Amino acid sequence: MRALLQRVSRASVRVEGHIVGSVRTGLLVLLGVAPEDSHRDLEYLAEKLLSLRIFRDEMGRMNRSVLDVEGSILLVSQFTLYASTRKGRRPYFSGGASPEHARSMYEELARLLATRLDVATGVFGAPMEVELLNDGPVTIMLDSKARE
C-alpha cells in the first residue's frame, strides 16, 4: 500500500459538485492499493498514520500525532499512486490492485482508523475533486512494503 499524506488545516472532497467528506485539522490521505496488499499492510499503515509525529507542539517542532492534536483523516482512493512512467509519456497503471481488492482494503482501512478518530472518505472509483489547505506544507509518502 502507498499513502501520500498531507498535514492540512482543512480538506474536502466533492463528487458531482457535492461535498461528500471534509475535515479540519488533520490529514488528507491519498491511498493506493497493490494486488499483494494484505491485512498486515493495513495494520502497518494505520499505525503509521495515527502515530506519525508531524504536527507542531508548543515549541513549533513536529512532535505530535494526529491523535495528539485530536485531528481527523480524510481518506481518498488514488490508484494512480501505482502509476509507472518508465516508458513513453502516458502513465501505465498495471501496478494497482483490482477494483474489488482495492475497494475492500480502502474500506477496511477507513474502518480501522475510525476506531481511533473521525474519518471522512471520498467515493471509491468516482471522479472526485479534492481541495485542501496544506499546513506547512507537510507532505509525506508511506509505503507498506518498503516500511517507509
Q: Which residues are catalytic?
A: 78-80
Q: Which residues contact 114 (CB under 8 A, 6 or more apart)?
A: none
What letter represents residue 58's amino acid?
A: E
Strands (E), 1-148: 2-15, 18-23, 26-32, 55-56, 62-64, 72-77, 119-121, 129-143
